[in-house]
Amino acid sequence: MSITCGPCNLSLINLACRRVINAWHCWHLANIDPKQDSLSVATAMSEAANGLPAPWTVRYSKSKKREYFFNPETKASQWEEPEGTDHGLLKQYLAEHPVRVRCLHILCKHSDSRRPASHRSEHITISKAEAIEELQEIQRRLESGESFESLAKERSDCSSYKRGGDLGFFGKGEMQGSFEKAAFALKVGETSGVVETESGVHLIKRVQ
């Protein structure tokens, strides 16, 4: 029997193929174990994402200021990488998805800050707009080559000014929301634009 490859016959063939494929999909969905399937997918994604053997995850210790490893099934936790870890992949994952960062910042408080006082002034009266203007001038000075640390010592209203604005390491949940979001979005060596919090307005530089 010969088959004429005209438009009508091709349409019928395509329709038949689609029906076969749809029927197979229906059988497949009816015969899989959803829990097992989702677990295997999640396991594969976890291993591919962070280099850790499933079901290990990496977390952050606020008291020790460092990451640790946690097994949600056994509730075990440890500082050392679990056996079977792909160290290179884990290092890459942490570089792209840090659990902690180390930042410098310059804080300019204003009259509407949560506590409008600092080592520089017992009663800060400048407006938020004026504080932003000061930070924009600092940005220009940074672009011209002045160091972040020296400008923090000169102008920051935070007590960290003594350390050149260094806040040390911190994880998620330790800073105000907008500050945290900006800090974790930075790559090492990058400086943010003006960031507003209840404390005032900031420039943030990520150093680690």
Q: Do 202 and 105 share a structural domain?
A: yes
In a domain, 17, yes or no: no
In a domain, 162, yes or no: yes
Q: Do 110 and 152 share a structural domain?
A: yes
In a domain, 89, yes or no: yes
Instruction: Report the C-alpha gap between 54 and 129 in whole angstroms.
Output: 50
In a domain, 22, yes or no: no
Domain, as residue range, for 59: 49-96
Annotated catalytic residues are: 105, 158, 176, 199, 202
In a domain, 172, yes or no: yes
Q: Do 142 and 113 share a structural domain?
A: yes
Burial class (CB in 10 A: 0-12, 13-18, 19+), 53: middle
Structural domains of the chain, count: 2
pTM of whole model > 0.75? no
Last residue of a domain, one of 61, 96, 131: 96
Q: Do 180 and 84 share a structural domain?
A: no
Q: Do 178 and 83 share a structural domain?
A: no
Sheet harboring 195-197: ordered strands across? 166-171, 100-108, 200-206, 195-197
| Phi and psi, residue 102, nearest 5° | -120, 125
Is residue 9 helix, strand or coil?
helix
Q: Report the pLDDT averaged over residues 169-195.
A: 96
Residue percentage of the chain with pLDDT more than 70: 77
CATH code of residue 90:
2.20.70.10
In a domain, 173, yes or no: yes
Q: Do 149 and 126 share a structural domain?
A: yes
163 to each of 40, 52, 155, 159, 177, how far by Cα in Å?
Answer: 48, 36, 12, 8, 23
Last residue of a domain, one of 41, 74, 96: 96
Q: Do 113 and 194 share a structural domain?
A: yes
Task: Quick: pLDDT tens for 120-177.
Answer: 999 999 999 999 999 999 999 999 999 999 999 999 999 999 999 999 999 999 999 9
Q: Do 105 and 194 share a structural domain?
A: yes
